Amino acid sequence: MADLVTPMCVRVAATLGLADLADAWETADALASRTDTDASVLRVVLDQLVTVGLFESRDGRYRVTEAGRGLSTEVPPLGLDGWLGRAELAFVELAHTVRTGEAAYPVRYGQDFWADLAARPELRQGFDGWMNRRFATHAPQIARRFDWSRFSRVVDVGGGDGTLLTEILLANPGLHGHVVDLPATADAATRRFAEAGLGDRATATAGSFFDPLPAGADAYVLSDILHNWGDEGARAILAGCAEAAGPDGVVLVIEIMRSPPGPHTAFELSMAVFFGGRERTPAEVAALVPGLTLAATTKVADNRQLLEFHL
């Protein structure tokens, strides 16, 4: 359980695209030629993947198994050159996070996760794409399982390319919405709204959720945002939403809620290692900003709850 051999063989296979290249039987030499790698070492990596059932071998040739198709470049970003593979290598610095409560990512890479994404556009593109694909599953559930028709205007803070807000607006024809996110992502949201025929009801603004937010909406949504931040950052984000909402607005927090011990401990450790963030219980979220009252809790998607806060 403690060795790193198999996990790194899996990561290297994903990085090289071996699952795609070995869809049919291929020799190690042929795969090495196509990936510009050392054939003798690659053969041992393939043999290790055979040992764990991700590849199979016959007469000196290799082919990916059904289980190994999860290493495809079209599935999760497991490769070491993608944002997730890069971030998960920071787990080698887990002891730092355990000792200090701080993110391990800057220890390994010299800057925090968000600065790294800003400096490497290919990482930002991959991260945004993965988040948007994940929300494509959750967004229809969230739009159906909560009464959004109570509101006339909603601001999705850090709302990405507008995937969630689009689903909410399509399900509620009387509702108007606004996304606030970084410039390239806000541009993508504007395009999504136009393609969905929502240009007259949805807008996007380039900005940070640490900046003053558009004021006066009925509801401010934070979906999968707070767990990326330690208490200081999460408090500032939540307080900014509360300030923009004013006495008559509400703040809606959508996240996986902490309920240890449970199936999400690996995810929670990732939040700590990548960002210095953490999962929280509803009471812990409420305690971040004095004056916020938890009015209701609704399960709105698989593994996600919506917390409704009033001032």
Question: Strand, helix or coil at 154?
Answer: strand
Q: Which whole-number Å values give the CA distances from 243 to 180, 216, 239, in the listed order?
A: 15, 10, 6
CB proximity list for 191: less than 8 A, separation 6 or greater: 161
Dihedral sign for Cα atoms in the order 264, 132, 129, 237: negative
227 noted as active-site residue: yes
Instruction: Output phi, psi for 14, to 5 deg.
Output: -65, -40
**CA 15, CA 78: separation in Å to the nearest integer?**
7
At what angle are helices 39-51 and 28-35 packed, to 10 degrees?
120
Nearest to 157 by CA among 186, 190, 191: 186
Among 176, 227, 264, 310, which one carries the catalytic annotation?
Answer: 227
Q: How crowded is the C-beta side of 171, counted as CA atoms within 13 Å?
A: 19
Tokens of 211: 């900046």
Question: Distance between terminal CA atoms of the chain?
Answer: 48
**CA 160, CA 195: separation in Å to the nearest integer?**
16
List, by residue number, the catalytic residues: 227
